[in-house]
A and B are shown apart, each in its own frame.
Chain A
């Protein structure tokens, strides 16, 4: 079975050209997919579903019906001031497959008066999961194969069964999310719509999505075994679902259904609603594809945008490939320059403050001096005033004394003159 390989098969060429080779017997590497699958089984799988819809539209019931179990649910109030997200994780097992399922529900979606910011908490949550994965990937010592993947793999968007068209809240929210997550729109509580209305409703919804450029998840068509099924299913979107965990006796079987006075809506009856289709598509056929799309498309887009935001590039302005080392070096220099600039600034500010303080102190000193001078002046003035007064007073006193002395003298003189007169008369 030997065949000659041509002489030109040197190492350079053979690195680029890979020739197909035929095997002479059973080698055994066809067990490779099994080896890979066995490893995955022992590790377990992760699947994260995000349910967006108004309060009371049936998100929790649908999850219960989908996974045939009773997750712990509590009814939410209609008076939440803001949209919140509540995530719950469950470990499910079926035969030898262990699934870690995380169901994230919106709480209070569509309840507020002003719904402009309603989509933001949802976008933030999705981004946060991408961010933590990116952080793990960028770590130096990382353990990606052990990482609990919390990124949202599928987003079920619950459309109210108005029968007319999508609400603007729906369009706005889906538009914000279509590049971040795989959106699968479903019409909730579909037993309120008649068959003919449903058909028109579906067409209207799809055309509105298309005309608004919303990219919903398309079931993949590249694998021949499922391409046919997926194409048919793509035509049935959005799925009109009914959820119920209660069982009703129909015929001689107990089936999941909703009992009305006028009849019984069977959840798993394909004529009644599309629940079975949803379960097929979401879990049985495309779960792996949803996970793959999330990782290779949505996550890569997020990562690319985030890194570009941080200033990393693959090529520099002249379109030459920039190695990571250059980018790191440039970033490092930038960072050091920034540090230096900040240090200089701080120093300048410090010097400035010192000067200001000095000036202030000088000013205060001057002021103080001025006041002192003034006080001295006032004091001197008062002193001189007082001295003047004293002088005056002294003068007064001395003149008074003089006058008194003169008066006394006069009195004394007049007395002696009168005495003399008296003496003269007596003679």
Chain B
């Protein structure tokens, strides 16, 4: 094992090191351990059908994660109520194994009367918290508790160009305290760049007026550096994205894009849409943070609430026959 040259710093209230010891190898040790255990990541996509949710997820993870991307040639009917469908895959890259679970919500926003269509979603999220909590309070616990909690919820806003709909506001208002919501503007190739900027500003304004804190939440910024990084991101959100899993030839290169009569919209071109930014933000820089906020804040809030309710736990799932009045 080769040692790099370490510095001999003295930290406040600490001792002066007179030479290299090897404490910084703990980074490498930790990295190796986490690579061995692998990661879980659960992402939920919410939005009315036809907005390109499945295509976007496939584009994000560069594989056929979602089975609906083959287009609308399907004989399935739109469900009468919001369903929750989750699909898990194991993907590996650079030695890192990730169990990716996509939770789809067909039927959201599709009915004539969409009252309370967020309820099945809210229930699902709470059920995952409940599962984790039950595992955590066991006497004999598993070495690694399987994590099915929703780490991130991509909310698809239809590109009307005007403002948020009541459904959007209601959903995000109710769920922003139990899950990390990342709003995205779907099918943004229907807007010009100016229209897009205006729309985004209006959406941001409306979110602020309604007190909706989307991820990254201002209150969880760790320090000034975090705050400035996250402020930049918050200024560009919601990301206006275009998804595609088809490749086309542009300037001699094969790129993912949508071919139209007036040109090819390149998905990964930052001048065309903000897909690349979303991907970098979601996967390359903030994936771990999404998981940590879910675990340290949303889960803890849920747990505290559960343990506080009447001083004990009462069942929330409907198949428990025992209804306790503590």
Contacts and interface: CB of A to CB of B under 8 A. Distances in A.
Contacts of B141: 300
A69 interface: yes
Interface string B1-22: 1011011011111111111111
B209 to A, nearest CB: 30
Interface in B259-290: 279-280, 283-289
B1 A18 contact: no
B91 A28 contact: no
Contacts of A23: 61-63, 91, 93
Contacts of A329: 312, 324, 326
Interface residues of B, number: 92
A71 B304 CA distance: 41
Contact of A68 (B19, B26, B134, B303): B19
Contacts of B26: 45, 97, 99, 283, 287-288
A30 B307 contact: no
B162 interface: no
Interface residues of A, number: 84
B288 A93 contact: no
B283 A28 contact: yes
Given A14-B86, A36-B288, A29 B326 contact: no
B87 interface: yes
A310 to B, nearest CB: 10
A196 interface: no
Contacts of A42: 222-223
B77 interface: no
Interface stretch (A1-9, A54-62, A197-205): A1-9
Given A18-B90, A19-B89, A92-B17, A314 B138 contact: yes
A94 interface: yes
Contact of B35 (A33, A70, A98): A33
Interface in B43-68: 60-65, 67
**Central interface residue in B20, B35, B64, B286, by most chain A CB within 10 Å:** B64
Nearest to B64: A2
Contacts of B20: 68, 94
Interface string B241-255: 000010000000000
A100 to B, nearest CB: 9
Interface in A70-92: 70-71, 90-92
Contacts of A292: 33
Contacts of A22: 63, 91
A-B CB proximity, top 8 nearest: A30-B94, A35-B288, A91-B14, A288-B29, A284-B22, A28-B284, A325-B313, A69-B15
Given A19-B89, A68-B18, 7 more contacts: A29-B98, A36-B31, A39-B288, A69-B16, A141-B304, A144-B296, A229-B1
Interface of B: 1, 3-4, 6-7, 9-27, 29-36, 39, 41, 60-65, 67, 69-70, 84-96, 98-99, 134, 137-141, 143, 222-223, 245, 279-280, 283-289, 292, 296, 300, 303-304, 307-308, 311-315, 322, 324, 326
